[in-house]
């Protein structure tokens, strides 16, 4: 057996179930809680960030590979781009109605 062939991918199964629990938790909070809309949105956003980290770790194998510094820089750059795109889109959509 070579080093690339492993047995059953238990980390994938664990990651899948963790993501499933987070998704169901977000759905439950959105549908069954008596929290304010703002609190629900913050809670769901927080769970989404945790789920993204789990998927990077479990499915994308971000902890593996040769150069950890390059992996971390790529993740930070991707997060920066996501924040710029989302914040810019919200800014454009909210300020466009005032003109």
Distance between CA atoms of residues 14 and 33, nearest Å: 27
Quick: pLDDT tens for 28-82: 999 998 889 999 999 999 999 899 888 888 877 776 777 878 888 888 898 899 9
Q: Which two tokens stand for residue 79?
A: 């997060």
What's the pTM? 0.65
Residue pointed to by tokens 């956003």:
45
Rounded to an integer, the average pLDDT of 8-21 is: 88
Question: Could you tell me the residue ranges of all domains in the chain?
Answer: 8-64, 66-99
- Listed in order, strand segments (DSSP E) in 1-99 are none
Q: Strand, helix or coil at 59?
A: coil
Task: Give the gyration radius of the chain's Cα atoms.
Answer: 18
pLDDT at residue 2, rounded to an integer: 47
């Amino acid at each position: 057996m070579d080093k690339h062939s492993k047995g059953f991918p238990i980390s994938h199964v664990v990651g899948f179930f963790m993501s499933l629990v987070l998704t169901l938790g977000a759905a439950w909070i959105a549908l069954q809680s008596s929290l304010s809309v703002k609190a629900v949105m913050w809670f769901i956003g927080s769970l989404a960030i945790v789920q993204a980290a789990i998927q990077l770790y479990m499915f994308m194998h971000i902890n593996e590979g040769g150069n950890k510094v390059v992996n971390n820089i790529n993740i930070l750059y991707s997060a920066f781009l996501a924040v710029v795109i989302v914040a810019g889109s919200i800014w454009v959509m909210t300020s466009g109605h005032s003109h």
